Structure 1
């Protein structure tokens, strides 16, 4: 599944129109029940998020309870999606249920675009949801979205390359670097690791491991944290890892797309990626007539007692504040985010994504991506939960720029200070 869990446009800046249009309650009367006038429920999902067999099963179960209601599922592309969602939420006929990136949700909530689901949390099955995932759907103690799924990155390695070098998956950062050195000696023509200079989600995990963060709240304002000793230490370790790679220092993992444009060409002993990327790479390798077999392990931590921190990217499901069918939308949401359907979802995605509750986890095969992802997820975190965060990720992303500057020789403290100024300027708008 082609997933790219990054924010492309500033939520806060674009969404003023949502608040300006007000938070109407649609066509629901004082009883809170949906009027019978509208018999169509519109659901927006993102490309690659909802396997057809699964979404058909959800709609079949919903139709059994509401035979007169048609569910129209519209698949959207991630490119410029925030502009489209912002416009839709300000209209009188928005989608009733919509998928939102977990770093985007708070921006739509604070500007009035999403329905308050706090009173419906129990009916939606909220008591079983992962607390780590749930955090991205709550603002000031109120619930605005149900967590749907999440995913985190792993180190993906060529088993033959590791066997040739006489190494096994590492448990610590030091062991990891030692392995890369052995891979370099074992096959000088191959990259021990493919690591683009701007894989900032990887850097975020390293910063969290150092006890730092990308940004923190200081009074009423937010400030960047890339000029801190913790960020400097994390960036120096990233620089060490990147020294074993010939990947561009000024590009991220999608430019070129590592799973389909780089790995299938060969000459890479390991790389860092998501489940859908591993699946895509294996498919491309098979098509090229190569019999590469992947192994997987969590990004190592500083010590062996727990894996390194990882960005827990994913999506939430929300109900539009201006929906004409709020109660029906909540019932559909309760099905989609409930244990039964989430268990089927985990199976449908072949364990490439983590469901919103542990009880629905995919029964992963030993040695699979899903097994290692679940192990790594215990150290999962998300970016700062604030409406301004989307603006930070807008290109040119100052975190990416910071990384490239340091990798090209600029002083880490100076590069961090410059990045912090830009982060503060964007996040506090």
Structure 2
């Protein structure tokens, strides 16, 4: 890929993925209850909250109230969809259950002739039974950041296999500095998917009709996470989504988001490298997770059509807001190819490397047909394997049973 992340080069990314506190803001008019309620999770980047409030205040069609939601946002959304018409609009990743239970509404009619400008992989990830339920806002990914100087001092080569990652993490432990940080849960939350992909597996089979981890290699690779936990930093004041562990010198390597690239390079300068998650072996693959929060409309909202009109205005018509949202507060890729040239942190250096990782090995992090119950069963199994030394094969048998039940339920 060239120096410029142009429309053409980002089209290559899309094609090769092929798959890949509350503030009130007053506009004019109003919904049946006087306002549209728009929920966001609590972004860590400075300026995002002020920006989305500014967008809401500028909307000419209704009064929009923005609510910022720290803490367990996903659980809060789940509860809200089951019990009320609030929020009218919210950001999330669509789940089949929401569609089956008619908790969200289709949004296909909002895109018009802009459909081809959105990265196809993202639209597919928000599509259930041929209908689109979310308008993607920006593209995020996660990578392995490392301190070049600390690896050089320890004589460690940047790891390209899971075993090399385990060895590097152990050799980089020096007492005051741990080898790797991947979250205070020991990497269960963010490394489960990359571990599966590293072994050539996935949550679901290619046709979505069966679990994708019914294979002995799944037990092998999750056993590796248990080995890796011996070298991980645990109990960090900040979790994996914040770059503090790496920036503050507590670890030599950290698995965290693309959005932290500006903070990390500002703190460490040229002493930072990036890697995809390594392959298990020659039969596996390097990978990075690709995902995007999308704007969705609550089917129980007081005025669904007013909510849809607002979503169209903000995430389809207001290209300048979409560009700012994706590129001004951290490093993200815009969800639309025509806006990708504005992603300046990704034109060279580690940013350019990360775009290459997405091109070659981007994988959808949260498939719509992968249910919350199946995900909990697998995550709990991986946690017991990694943190308690439980038998990988036995734990995965139980998780497979739940996954099969969920697939059958969704197909009824």
Q: What TM-score do you get using the length of structure 2 for normalisation?
A: 0.72
- 1:98: which partner in 2? 90
Give the secondary-structure state (helix, strand or coil) at the position aligned to 1:343.
helix
Cα distance, 1:162 vs. partner?
2.5
Other-structure match for 2:287: 309
Q: Deviation of residue 270 (structure 1)?
A: 0.8
CA-atom RMSD, angstroms? 4.2
SS of the residue corresponding to residue 193 of structure 1 reads strand
Checking the alignment, whether the CA contact within 8 Å between 1:319 and 1:326 is kept in structure 2 is yes
CA distance in 2, matches of 1:36, 1:409: 54
Question: What's the CA shift string for 1:367-416, capped at 9, x where partnerless?
Answer: 66644443332322233422x6112344xx53343353266554432232
Q: Is contact 1:206-1:308 (8 Å) kept?
A: no
Counterpart Cα distance in 2 of 1:255 and 1:405: 24
2:67 is aligned with 1:74: yes
- Cα deviations by residue, 1:160-211 (Å, 9 ceiling, x for unpaired): 21332455645x3279449817x82795764333356442432312322433
Q: Measure the CA separation in 1 of the matches of 2:100 and 2:292.
A: 20
After TM superposition, give the deviation of residue 428 of structure 1 in Å: 5.4
Equivalent residues of 2:32, 2:303 under 8 A apart: no
Change in Cα spacing, 1:241 to 1:71, as seen in structure 2 (3 Å) is same
- The answer as to whether partners of 1:214 and 1:226 remain within 8 angstroms in 2 is yes
Asked whether 1:329 is paired with 2:307, we answer yes
**Which SS does the other structure have where 1:337 is aligned?**
helix
Tell me which residue corresponds to 2:17: none
- 1:155-194 equivalent positions in 2, closer than 5 A: 155-165=144-154, 169-170=158-159, 172-173=160-161, 176-177=164-165, 180=168, 184=171, 190-194=177-181
Alignment-derived partner of residue 109 in structure 2: 119
Deviation, 1:229, is 2.4
Structure 1: any 5+ residue segments left out of the alignment?
1-33
Residue 343 of structure 1: aligned partner: 323
What residue is the counterpart of 2:15 in the other structure? none
Contact 1:114–1:319 under 8 Å retained in 2: yes
1:320 matches 2:298: yes
Q: Distance in 2 between matches of 1:36 and 1:210?
A: 50
In structure 2, what is the equivalent of residue 42 of structure 1?
37
The structure carrying a bigger helix percent of its residues is: 2
Partner residue in 2 for 1:274? 257
1:399 aligns with 2:382: no
Distance 1:418 1:198, change over 3 A: farther
Structure 2 match to 1:29: none
1:355-370 → structure 2 map (5 Å cutoff): 355-361=334-340, 362-364=343-345, 370=351
**Residue of structure 1 in register with 2:23 after alignment:** none
How many residues are paired up? Answer: 369
Cα distance between partner residues in 1 of 2:326 and 2:355: 12
CA apart distance, 1:112:
0.9
* Shift in CA distance, 61/168, structure 1 to aligned 2, threshold 3 Å: farther
Separation in structure 1 between the aligned mates of residue 236 and residue 98 of structure 2, nearest angstrom? 26
Equivalent-residue separation in structure 1 for 2:379 and 2:30 (angstroms): 48
| Distance of 1:348 and 1:74 partners within structure 2 | 21
Partner of 2:137: 148
Alpha-carbon separation, structure 2, partners of 1:367 and 1:400: 39
Partner of 2:14: none
Q: In structure 1, how many angstroms separate the alpha carbons of the residues matched to 2:253 and 2:30? A: 56
Is contact 1:129-1:357 (8 Å) kept?
Answer: yes
Asked whether the 8 Å contact 1:202–1:311 carries over to 2, the reply is no
5+ long unaligned stretches in structure 2: 1-28
Matched residue SS, 1:269:
strand
Alignment of 1:201-212 (within 5 A): 201-212=190-201
The structure-2 alpha-carbon separation of the partners of 1:135 and 1:262, relative to structure 1 and needing over 3 Å to count, comes to same
Where 1:153 maps in the other structure, the secondary structure is: strand
Where 1:152 maps in the other structure, the secondary structure is: strand
Determine helix, strand or coil for the equivalent of 2:137.
strand
